[in-house]
Amino acid sequence: MASKTKNANAKSWYIDNFFDFQKKLNGQSGSFINESRIEAIDKLKNTDFPTLKDEEWKYTNITPILNHEFKSPLLTGNPEINAGLVKQSLYTGFDSHLLVFVNGIFSEEFSDLSGIPQGVTINSLNKLIETDPDLIKQYFEKVEYINTFNLVNTAFAYDGFVVIIPDNVILKKPVQILYLTGHKNETVLSAARNLIVAGENSQAKIITNYRPVYDNTYFSNFVTKVFAGDNSVIDIYKLQNESEKAYHIETTKIEQQQKSIVNHHSYSFGGKLVRNDINVKLNGEFIESHLYGLYLGNDNQHIDTHTFIDHAKPNCMSNELYKGILDDNSRGVFSGKILVEQEAQKTNAFQSNKSILLSDNAHADSKPQLEIYADDVKCSHGATVGNIDETAYFYIRSRGVPSNIAKSMLIRAFANDVLEPVNISALSETLSHQIFEHLHRAEI
């Protein structure tokens, strides 16, 4: 079978490549993280890549990813980056601590680590493994496994970002992490393992920003782990602006302790094939998890978001709002699973997924799943797919506003409840602007 062959070919590509990769590691090959690399590649030998027959991948055909031979930047070498590219790739209008990575490898030259408050760690994983391996060890599982791509990530990840906020510290400035990816002549694999830890009563805002170096094919494959300590507040903004030929797969695992609040905002603009898995474990009482997502599709983009919310303890609240705006031949997929464990009484869990299709060939899939083992809970989910609201469209035009501006206004109106919770005002404005830019619509 063709898909079987592709699967086997892709596996042997990564397995064969792993030996060359290992040779390039030099000093890092003895570190604890290398044990996890070896464990991951061993596991990959006995694990297939998912196919459309897998329930979790039924709407997303990953064959295009398997068709490419992606290489670690340790094997391809990294492109020269200039300050201009960094500058134009950043989100601006607010102060931030800045970490820059090129193909998943930390670039000290373009990062700005000045003014980091005492005790706060904002740094590269690779550096910390050298300087403070015990700090990292306590948070990293050897292999974070949800899907086969995580194994590729763990086997080939050389670096990643680490943000650790100690107890009782409120980090004022957001941390912006810029991932620049791409190579002029090679299809590069950018694999990074990221870590966010918020201590008790701490607060932080983290922005991850994914941008291309060249508008060509590459593969971003990330695993991000988040720990929210008691009473902490973490705002995460995932702003995905990959090249239109890029593949992007990220698994985000969030574990929350009691009374913590996590606001996860996900904006998907770029990428040819994009898959986000966001798994949240509410592992204490009185936790709030808010997940907001906006995904925009044009041309043949395929954007897939899978969420899994695990209510393990009583008296918690989760709220998911994912919206898709899909044009041309694009396809948006949302699958959201909510598990309410037996112990998790008084759970409030809400989920909403809405899409508008701007063209006859755009497509949206939505798959809510509730699994409830407690009896005193409030759970709701809803999914809608539709076109632009004709009555509203007529209303705006009846005031003399041209049809293209009227459509932009309705697109902005549709996105509003996702944009509203963005609490960095300059960022909110930029994102609003990006919506029109990405959809090639008139600015309002």
Q: How far apart are CA 213 and CA 220, in angstroms?
A: 12
Of 145 and 395, nearer to another protein (C-beta) is 395
Of 108 and 420, nearer to another protein (C-beta) is 420
Say whether 426 sits in a helix, a strand or coil.
helix
Of 209 and 408, nearer to another protein (C-beta) is 408
Shortest distance, position 392 Cβ to another protein, whole Å: 5
Buried b (16+ CB within 10 A) or exposed e, 146-165: ebbbbbbbbbbbbbbbbbbb
Q: H or E element: which one contains 385?
A: strand 377-386
Shortest distance, position 433 Cβ to another protein, whole Å: 13
Residue type, 372: I
Of 350 and 393, nearer to another protein (C-beta) is 393
* Backbone dihedral angles phi then psi of residue 414, each to the nearest 5 degrees: -65, -40
Shortest distance, position 240 Cβ to another protein, whole Å: 22
Shortest distance, position 324 Cβ to another protein, whole Å: 17
Shortest distance, position 417 Cβ to another protein, whole Å: 7
The distance in angstroms from the start CA to the end CA of the chain is 51
Length of the chain: 444
Shortest distance, position 423 Cβ to another protein, whole Å: 16
Name the site residues for another protein (rule: CB under 8 A). 389-392, 394-403, 405-406, 409-410, 412-413, 415-417, 419-420, 444
* Backbone dihedral angles phi then psi of residue 69, each to the nearest 5 degrees: -105, 95
Of 379 and 405, nearer to another protein (C-beta) is 405
Shortest distance, position 387 Cβ to another protein, whole Å: 13
Q: How far apart are CA 107 and CA 109, in angstroms?
A: 5
Burial (Cβ within 10 Å: 0-12, 13-18, ≥19) of residue 167: middle
Of 371 and 429, nearer to another protein (C-beta) is 429
Residue type, 176: Q
Q: Which residue is associated with the tokens 């709407």?
A: 59
Of 288 and 389, nearer to another protein (C-beta) is 389
* CA nearest neighbour of 159 among 107, 113, 197, 91: 107
At a CB cut-off of 8 Å and minimum separation 6, what does 37 contact?
A: 18, 22, 154, 155, 156, 157
Of 54 and 389, nearer to another protein (C-beta) is 389
Q: How far apart are CA 255 and CA 387, in angstroms?
A: 37
Say whether 308 sits in a helix, a strand or coil.
strand
Q: How far apart are CA 84 and CA 222, in angstroms?
A: 25
Shortest distance, position 416 Cβ to another protein, whole Å: 3
